[in-house]
């Protein structure tokens, strides 16, 4: 779906009206200076406003938002965060309120290196880079690895935030359909600037990439030299089964025991583990990549908030993530089950889907190949429910047969009502077809 962002359209018209009404008092003559202001960058015409839609949906009275990857605010550890914030300001006022190191608070980098080290994955501070949320990591990777037209091999369907982060670089995309039995990792990675995957409960599909495919991706990265980006925001949100090894840990097997220098770039965030408002993420990679990201961040926001970095450090040291994880898992598991139960009742004739073993989403594919989920979104919003159409997870915008439905934000009865409204929208859409 390629929609014109209303803010851009409105601001353009305001600029043009201003020039028309005030030009005589500002400019010497119409012939001397053009009345037309420069255009916005061309890449803005290729983006979508779906993310803006579901982030602002909470302000629409009565709308049930099942479109975004939003956590349940009731799981946020508010008293603990408030206490940690107060303690950080009192104990470290200079670090909390001033500028800090571009690559992140040294103690937090040490804590993250310790958290993700294994007997074979040896990490030090030099392997860790702190970002202002997971999205900044994606943006900075695009800055350091992509020139215009550079090739990205992306797990397909692809997280729309990654597509948006790299869109200003105007890359070319090669889709990696990891579920295809004929998928060849070496062919997929060859010649790409980097490959991108969400192995744990992929966004948008919610699927877990099998171990054999993980090993094939890592082997191809080592063989071809292509960077392999492992985005892992949902790794702790596993409701069934056993976890599979991270790509970076597979990459480190058989290493000589020194600090990690392999091709995997591992990304994570506290947004799904504690709260998104902290805006704390990280990149773990070989030291030269960390240095490149530092140079890119220098021209971005200069440094991540000292306050939230100290909160994150204290939370890690106090074991806060481990304490709240049972609440997250029990809450989200029940909501996943409630959503899938409602879908079986209301949408079974329209869509097919798999029950995800983790993450935040159900990916539903229309039984009718002609069903257009871009059009469905229009009718769904009219019916009072928001979902994400599949076109925004396709760099070319051609996949219009599926929807991504979030189950973590809403309580079970509200999820059931949202699905009922979605079924109503489907009936309305069919009735209005020419």
pLDDT at 37 over 60: yes
Residue 56's pLDDT is: 75
Q: For the sheet containing 402-406, what is the strand order? A: 351-353, 361-366, 402-406, 388-389
Residues 6+ apart with CB under 8 A from 180: none
pLDDT at 21 over 80: no
Residue 31's pLDDT is: 52
pLDDT at 303 over 70: yes
Model confidence over 193-220: pLDDT tens digits? 999 999 999 999 999 999 999 999 999 9
pLDDT-derived band at 59 (thresholds 50, 70, 90) equals confident
Residue 34's pLDDT is: 57
CB neighbours of residue 246 within 10 Å: 23
**Quick one: tokens of 269?**
């965030």
Q: How far from 110 is each of 125, 267, 305, 366, CA to CA, in Å?
A: 5, 16, 17, 47
pLDDT at 30 over 60: no
Question: In the predicted model, what is the mean pLDDT of residues 399-419?
Answer: 98
Q: What is the secondary structure of 190-227 as a DSSP string? A: TT-SEEEE--SS-TTT-PPPPHHHHHHHHHHHHHH--E
Which residues are registered as beta bridge partners of 231?
267
* Predicted TM-score (pTM) of this structure: 0.90
CB hemisphere CA count around 57 (13 angstroms): 25
Size (the chain), residues: 434
Cα gap 98→37, rounded to integer Å: 38
Cα gap 100→92, rounded to integer Å: 12
Residue 174's pLDDT is: 98
Model confidence over 225-243: pLDDT tens digits? 999 999 999 999 999 999 9
pLDDT at 5 over 50: no
Shortest CA distance to 396 belongs to which of 167, 79, 217?
167
Residue 54's pLDDT is: 64
Pairing of strands 264-269, 385-386: unpaired
CB hemisphere CA count around 221 (13 angstroms): 26
Model confidence over 318-351: pLDDT tens digits? 999 999 999 999 999 999 999 999 999 999 999 9
pLDDT-derived band at 47 (thresholds 50, 70, 90) equals confident
Q: How far from 69 is each of 84, 160, 260, CA to CA, in Å?
A: 26, 11, 31
Model confidence over 140-151: pLDDT tens digits? 999 999 999 999
Model confidence over 236-291: pLDDT tens digits? 999 999 999 999 999 999 777 789 999 999 999 999 999 999 999 999 999 999 99
Integer distance in angstroms from the first to the last C-alpha of the chain?
21
Question: In the predicted model, what is the mean pLDDT of residues 12-27?
Answer: 38
pLDDT at 185 over 90: yes
Cα gap 417→338, rounded to integer Å: 11
**Quick one: tokens of 272?**
């799904």
Cα gap 123→115, rounded to integer Å: 9
**Quick one: tokens of 2?**
């390629």
DSSP 8-state code for residue 75: G
Question: In the predicted model, what is the mean pLDDT of residues 102-117?
Answer: 98
């Amino acid at each position: 779906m390629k929609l014109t962002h209303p803010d851009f359209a409105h601001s353009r018209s305001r600029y043009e009206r201003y020039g028309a009404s005030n030009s005589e008092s500002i400019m010497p003559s119409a012939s001397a200076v053009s009345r037309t202001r420069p255009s916005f960058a061309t890449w803005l015409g290729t983006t979508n406003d779906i993310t803006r839609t579901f982030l602002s949906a909470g302000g629409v009275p009565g709308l049930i938002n099942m479109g975004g990857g939003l956590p349940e605010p009731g799981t946020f550890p508010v008293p603990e965060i408030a206490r940690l914030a107060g303690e950080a300001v009192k104990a470290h006022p200079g670090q909390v309120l001033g500028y800090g190191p571009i690559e992140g608070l040294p103690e937090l980098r040490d804590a993250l290196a310790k958290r993700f080290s294994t007997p074979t994955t040896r990490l030090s501070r030099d392997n860790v880079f702190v970002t202002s949320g997971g999205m900044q990591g994606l943006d900075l990777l695009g800055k350091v690895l992509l020139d215009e037209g550079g090739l990205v091999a992306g797990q397909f369907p692809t997280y729309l935030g990654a597509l948006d982060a790299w869109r200003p670089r105007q890359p070319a995309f090669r889709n990696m359909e990891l579920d295809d039995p004929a998928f060849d990792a070496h062919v997929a990675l060859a010649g790409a600037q980097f490959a991108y995957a969400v192995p744990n409960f992929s966004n948008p599909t919610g699927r877990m990439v099998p171990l054999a495919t993980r090993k094939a991706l890592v082997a191809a990265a080592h063989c071809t030299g292509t960077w392999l980006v492992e985005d892992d925001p949902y790794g702790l949100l596993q409701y069934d089964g056993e976890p599979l090894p991270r790509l970076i840990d597979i990459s480190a097997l058989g290493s000589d025991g020194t600090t990690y220098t392999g091709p995997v770039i591992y990304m994570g965030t506290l947004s799904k583990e504690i709260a998104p408002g902290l805006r704390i993420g990280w990149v773990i990679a070989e030291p030269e990549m960390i240095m490149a990201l530092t140079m890119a961040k220098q021209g971005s926001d200069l440094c991540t908030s000292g306050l939230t970095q100290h909160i994150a450090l204290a939370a890690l040291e106090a074991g806060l993530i481990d304490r709240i994880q049972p609440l997250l898992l029990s809450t989200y598991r029940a909501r996943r089950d409630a959503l899938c139960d409602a879908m079986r009742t209301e949408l079974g004739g329209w869509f097919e889907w798999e029950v995800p073993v983790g993450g935040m989403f159900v990916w539903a594919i229309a039984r009718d190949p002609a069903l257009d989920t871009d059009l469905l979104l229009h009718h769904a919003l009219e019916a009072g429910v928001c979902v994400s159409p599949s076109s925004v997870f396709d760099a070319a915008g051609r996949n219009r047969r599926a929807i991504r439905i979030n189950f973590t934000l809403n309580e079970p009865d509200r999820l059931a009502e949202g699905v009922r409204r979605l079924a109503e929208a489907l009936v309305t859409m069919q009735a209005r077809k020419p």
